[in-house]
Amino acid sequence: MATDFSQDEEAILRQWQQINEQYPNDVLTRIREKIPLVKQVDSELDLFGADSHEYELNPVIALADIEKWQKRTGATLPQDFVQFLTQIGNGGLGPYYGIVRFEDSESRFDQTAALPSILSPDMSEEEWQKLTFLDDDCSDEEFDERENYIHQGVFYLGTCGCEYDLLLVISGEYAGRIIYTNHWCGSNQPFFFSYELSFSQWYERWLDEVIQGYETSWFGHRLGGNEQILLSLYSQANSDVKHIDVLNGLTKLPRLSNDGALFLESIIKSENGELSQKALSVLAKFSFNVSKLYLMNALQSEDRELNKLAVQSIFWYQKDQFTCYQSLILSRLKQTDCADFVSFSGYILKELNDVKVESFQHLFCHNNPDITVAALYAAAADTQLASKISQYFPAMISDNPQVALIAVQSFIRTETMTPEGIAYLEMAWQKYPKEKDEYIRNNIIRFVKKFAIEGNFT
């Protein structure tokens, strides 16, 4: 659990604390002074996205350039963001891949920038799905119109990777808030609003969390604050939703005190359902000794959600302790009906070099194809798979194409040339013509050509 800071870390933390004490009412100066500390903490650019911005700021932009854009669009950027651009830097170092330059953002949503944002942190999934639904055959004009509507009143800040972006709300009730986007069209989840109320609060929190060694790969999605603050917020919270928020917030911390671990244990003992399960998952991250018995009990439970929680928490947080749970995982595999449990069990057993087809083959014909796929995939890590590959043959001609695909791929990987295996491969070829599943066909044809296999593959 709790570990000591190195001398270098302690020195940086002292400087960080001095900055907070010296400039309690000057956020801009605090940000400026903390930036060199961030560079020291991650001098090797190990944190996610750091190799993109390399903790360097772009030169500031002239206020006149921003005012020109505001006059053209009728929009007004939040004052603290303008101060950042004109006094700190025109983008550069920041969360994820950094903050983009103003000139690279200004035209992204400028047509509707002055209109109030229609987005809300309280938007329900139903409201979101209604807002973002479009027919598959909608025109480009309809798509663009809806996209502009969804993105009115926002300013583009940067990307989190893939197509997940950071937006700053600049107009409407929630002006100043940061939004984390997803694939809006067809997504089930609304855009996520950061907990901070302004750009400067959000940006300084990122600096603070990097300096303190917090886990920042999901920065902003979890409640801010240190252990003391979060545990106090938990006591003040009046709903399970808020309690869960606090517990999620704890997971960003690099360590937890003994008192914190005991607090989580008290939740496990006194609560039921999601709250107890979340506390156990967090406890698993910080204390093997305290969480071990609870995780073992969860593995032996008849509750599939508890089983899944346990095996996921063990895989994520307790890699050095896999052997302690090995026999219980194998025992639960014999009677599980949870695809996720099968998958994570496979990951753990693979790390232990203990994957055996025999542990999974009873699931190869399960009535839930997701479980079958998970079992076939996990068992394929058996180092003796080639000698056991006949167990995969029936799945190669499954009516479910996902099942058939993983079975075919596993067979091909062993490069087994037995007559029985080739016969099943021929049956899979006939069962899945290209127009039905090109992936299965492509796998087979590459294998057949590579080894010049003769058979009915035309």
**With 0-12 CB in 10 A as exposed, 13-18 as middle and 19+ as buried, what is 249?**
buried
DSSP string, 231-248: HHHHHH--SHHHHHHHHH
The strand pairing partners of 155, in sequence order, are 168
Confidence check: pLDDT of 2 > 70: no
Confidence check: pLDDT of 114 > 90: yes
Per-residue model confidence as pLDDT tens digits over 189-236: 899 999 999 999 999 999 999 999 999 988 999 999 999 999 999 999
pTM: 0.86
Where residue 137 falls among pLDDT bands split at 50, 70, 90? Answer: confident
Rounded Cα distance between 91 and 211, Å, is 20
Per-residue model confidence as pLDDT tens digits over 291-329: 999 999 999 999 999 999 999 999 999 999 999 999 999
Report yes or no: 428 and 396 within 8 Å, Cβ to Cβ.
yes
Report yes or no: 47 and 210 within 8 Å, Cβ to Cβ.
yes
Long-range CB contacts for residues 11-15, cutoff 8 Å, separation at least 24: 12/37, 12/40, 12/41, 12/211, 13/211, 13/212
Confidence check: pLDDT of 135 > 90: no
Rounded Cα distance between 135 and 188, Å, is 15
Other Cβ atoms closer than 10 A to 245: 18
Rounded Cα distance between 433 and 438, Å, is 7
Average pLDDT, integer, range 336-350? 97
Average pLDDT of the chain is 94
Per-residue model confidence as pLDDT tens digits over 61-85: 999 999 999 999 999 999 999 999 9
pLDDT of residue 1: 45
pLDDT of residue 58: 97
Average pLDDT, integer, range 411-430? 92
pLDDT of residue 3: 47
Sheet holding 192-193, edge to edge: 154-161, 164-169, 178-180, 192-193
Average pLDDT, integer, range 285-289? 96
In eight-state DSSP terms, residue 159 is E
Where residue 433 falls among pLDDT bands split at 50, 70, 90? Answer: confident
Q: What is the C-alpha radius of gyration for the chain, rounded to an integer number of angstroms?
A: 27
Share of the chain above pLDDT 70, in %: 99
Confidence check: pLDDT of 351 > 90: yes
Return the higher-pLDDT residue of 34 and 183.
34
